[in-house]
Amino acid sequence: MKLQQWARRRAGQPAPQSAIELLLGGRRGSAANGYPQHWLDGVSSFYDYLDDDASERICTGTACRFARGAPAEGTPVHCLGRCYEAPVTNRERSGRIPRLSLVEQPVILRHLVEGTRPDPAGEYRALPDAATLLEAVVASGLRGRGGAGFPTGAKWRTARDTAAPDRYVVANGDEGDPGSFVDRLLLEEDPHAVLAGMLACARAIGARQGVVFIRREYPRAQAVMRDAIEWAKGFGYLGDFQVRVVSGAGSYVAGEETALLRAIEGARAEPSPKPPFPAERGLEGLPTVVQNVETLAAIPWVVERKQRADTKVVCVTGAVSRPCAVEIALGTPLSEVLERACGGAPPGRRWKMALVGGPMGRVLSAAAFSTPLSFEALPGMGHAGVHVFDDQVSARDLASHLFEFARSESCGNCAPCRIGTTQLASQKTATSLERLLTTIELGSLCGFGQGVPRPIRDLLRDFPQELLP
């Protein structure tokens, strides 16, 4: 029996707060909803963002870490989702998120580019019956935009066909990759597209409950989504589909779907072995579809148009003239994105390399900027946040930053991940470094540890003399 279920019975309450919600509310006593003190202590020691939001935090994400004039001191937070105006702190007022489209018919940003605006009611009214919904999503070939690229329709079918008294739909808004801010853009400015996508999934698989999990670093996104849910409920668009917003508490690995479910349940966000997959057994042991925010935002368009959605929003920051979120056709070369959407390199700066997909993504040298941005041409591109570096940044500095991030965000469950990410400085040869990377990759339980070696191998391939002492 899960501890939360045990606590529910002991406290005699129908729906106790999770341990994370209690801690976010400042309650740490052992009598809080029946949770034992050791459980609260274990949860509080895992998360980085359980204290008061009023404290000033310095963003140490990739864009802010390598931005000129970045502050050197302050309570660190790994990313505030404002990479386009780096360096930043959480006390500064955020400007409008720059966005544009390189495709004639944007899908994800259809309501957000110049000359358009969201139509909340239209997103819900266009949704057909369950069978038609599932057929349209399967036929579209839509793949998850959160990084894994798994076929969306196949996941929905599994959840629908798994025998259970109920099912869940979870929107994964834990956009932790430094360099990515498309989920924040959608949650804050087009929440009904996301919510309608959740409703479509719920109708297709037979779910009556939904959760929007949003990282705590996005307080405005949480407030906007709560308002959107109340608006949709007030007009009867959600029917008997009950949706709530759950706040993260500062854990990158919570973006992994099984770790995210544990966070929702109020536990430490430690990944669980698969199978079973969440679509078979997830929240409260029920079939659960976990979809990235960008994927869900595409669903109403896919269903209404009955077309393939072969676009992706790419967030570009760093050594470019115009950082922005830009919707592209999958397969567009990185060089075209940088020139057409971002205005090329700033005056007096020369490109050296780019990190695509965050700390577990890929590194491309400037000579390889003609690489198409697609799941096939660039495996591991993940959420497709792109940070461009000029020739003042060394491969060693980038590798150290990536290992520092991995070390800080490791859940600690696997020794290869927990210990291996502290060993970069001791590697003196390509052979010893590759041995370390292989150990981390093969010995880690989840995609976090398994992905740590990916960008380091790219750096070793392209900049061996810089990477090794």
Q: What is the pLDDT of residues 62-120, one digit of tens each?
A: 999 998 766 666 788 888 899 999 998 888 878 899 999 999 999 999 999 987 887 88
Instruction: Inform me whether the pLDDT recorded for 44 exceeds 90.
Output: no
Quote the DSSP letter at residue 367. G
Give the lowest-confidence range in 209-223, 229-243, 385-399, 437-451: 437-451
* Mean pLDDT within 214-222: 93
Average pLDDT over residues 245-264: 87
The reported pLDDT for the residue numbered 4 is 47
Most confident option among 39-43, 114-118, 190-194, 264-268: 190-194
The answer to whether residue 324 scores a pLDDT higher than 70 is yes
CA distance 300 to 290: 17
Q: Name the average pLDDT for the chain.
A: 88
- List the single range of 188-202, 319-333, 345-359, 395-409 with lowest mean pLDDT: 395-409
Determine phi and psi for 248, rounding to 5 degrees.
-75, 180
Counting Cβ atoms within 10 Å, is residue 433 exposed (0-12), middle (13-18) or buried (19+)? buried
Residue at token pair 């959760």: 211
Q: Over 60: is that where the pLDDT of 10 sits?
A: no
Q: Is 344 exposed, middle or buried (0-12, 13-18, 19+ CB in 10 A)?
A: middle
How many angstroms separate the Cα of 447 from the Cα of each of 164, 292, 361? 28, 16, 11
Backbone φ and ψ of 445, nearest 5°: -75, -40
This prediction has a pTM of 0.92
Confidence band of 26 (pLDDT split at 50, 70, 90):
low
254 burial level (CB within 10 Å; 0-12, 13-18, 19+): buried
- The phi and psi torsions of 243 (rounded to 5 degrees) equal -125, 140
φ/ψ of residue 177, rounded to 5: -65, 115
Among 195, 172, 159, smallest CA distance to 282 is for 159
Residue 412's pLDDT band (boundaries 50, 70, 90)?
A: confident
CB atoms within 10 A of CB 72: 5
- Across 180-194, 223-237, 315-329, 411-425, least confident range: 411-425
Question: In angstroms, what CA-CA distances link 262 with 2, 18, 255, 257, 358?
Answer: 11, 10, 11, 9, 23
Return the C-alpha torsion angle 309, 335, 397, 321, nearest 10. Answer: -100
Give 52 or 381, the one with higher predicted confidence: 381
Q: Inform me whether the pLDDT recorded for 386 exceeds 60.
A: yes
Q: How far apart are CA 406 and CA 400, in angstroms?
A: 10
pLDDT at 3 over 60: no
| CA pair distance 248, 129, nearest whole angstrom | 33
Are 185 and 175 a contacting pair, CB within 8 Å?
A: no
- What torsion, rounded to 10 degrees, do the Cα atoms 125, 126, 127, 133 define? 170
Task: Reply yes or no on whether the pLDDT at 8 is more than 70.
Answer: no
Q: φ and ψ at 290, to 5 degrees?
A: -105, 120
Whole-angstrom distance, CA of residue 315 vs CA of residue 364 = 16
Q: How confident is the model at residue 213 (pLDDT cuts 50, 70, 90)?
A: very high
